[in-house]
Amino acid sequence: MPYDMEDGVSGILMIENKQSTIGYAKNEGAERQRFTIAHELGHYMLHRHGDLFIDKEFKTMYRPSSSTPSTEWEEREANEFAACILMPEHLVKMEMKEIQVDYDDSNWINQLAKKFKVSQSAMSIRITRLGL
């Protein structure tokens, strides 16, 4: 669900009475929103049974809006989960072959980012993490 989020928050996972809701900042770009939703889904799949931040009897996990790499292991796991969903390894490799990557021209990262509807930053990190 789109929400007006406070500055510095891109997404939230709320769990109450076995009902879960993922919220995302409605004022951020579509690529960021997609990554945030996948990130929060990662928290749900990987961390919903663990300790989350408690606020007014709601379980919540916030997605900070900064694009810097997280130091918290739960955040790193949720980022990796989101990257795997949005940029599956086999499809990234297939697209890299199809566009005939020229490593002297960084435009290919932008082409891949547009293809997968993610930011250039997210695509760069994914390619690096895959060792490509």
pTM (2 d.p.): 0.78
**Cα–Cα dist 38/45, whole Å:** 10
**Cα–Cα dist 80/35, whole Å:** 10
Name the residue ranges covered by the structural domains of the chain. 1-86, 88-132
Q: Is residue 59 very low, low, confident or very high in pLDDT (cuts 50, 70, 90)?
A: very low
Determine which of 37-41, 58-62, 71-75 has the lowest per-residue pLDDT on average. 58-62
Do 36 and 59 form a contact (C-beta atoms < 8 A)? Answer: no
Q: Does the pLDDT of residue 80 top 80, yes or no?
A: yes
**Cα–Cα dist 123/114, whole Å:** 9
Q: Is residue 39 very low, low, confident or very high in pLDDT (cuts 50, 70, 90)?
A: very high
8 to 20, 68, 106: CA distances (angstroms): 22, 12, 29
Per-residue pLDDT of 96-113, as tens digits, reads 989 888 877 878 999 999
Please calculate the CA angle 45-50-56 and round it to the nearest 5 degrees: 105
The SS3 assignment for 44 reads helix
